[in-house]
């Protein structure tokens, strides 16, 4: 906490709890608290508003990435990508013979 005394801005992560104790220690010159997270559960928003301190965060920044990951996992699962990869690395793959179903879309 000694590092935030007298600063104008605090840049925190979700594991940093920003509450009245932290704000009191930072001092009255604090102007902004920015978080490298989507949520604000770790920040006492009402205390910041009472002190007229601005809040910065990144809402919806992971929405598209999460959707892309889900699609990739669905495709990998339905097409047995991990099993096929292991078969190739174990030299168990023989052209035209599969010990697993590659799946198709209907």
Mean pLDDT (whole number) for 17-30:
95
28 closest CA partner among 42, 8, 2: 8
Return the CATH fold of 2-56: Rossmann fold (3.40.50)
Mean pLDDT (whole number) for 69-89:
88
Q: DSSP label at 35?
A: E
Domains of the chain, by residue range, sit at 2-56, 62-106
Query: pLDDT exceeding 70 applies to what percent of the chain?
Result: 86
């Amino acid at each position: 906490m000694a590092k935030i005394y007298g600063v104008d801005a605090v840049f925190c992560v979700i594991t940093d709890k920003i509450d009245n104790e932290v704000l009191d220690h930072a001092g009255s010159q604090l102007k902004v608290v920015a978080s490298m997270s989507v949520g604000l559960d770790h920040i006492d928003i009402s205390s910041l508003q009472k002190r007229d301190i601005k809040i910065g965060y990144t809402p919806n920044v992971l929405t598209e990435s999460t959707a892309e990951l889900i699609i990739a996992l669905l495709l990998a699962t339905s097409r047995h990508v991990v099993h096929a990869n292991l078969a190739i690395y174990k030299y168990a793959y023989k052209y035209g013979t599969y010990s697993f179903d590659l799946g198709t879309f209907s």
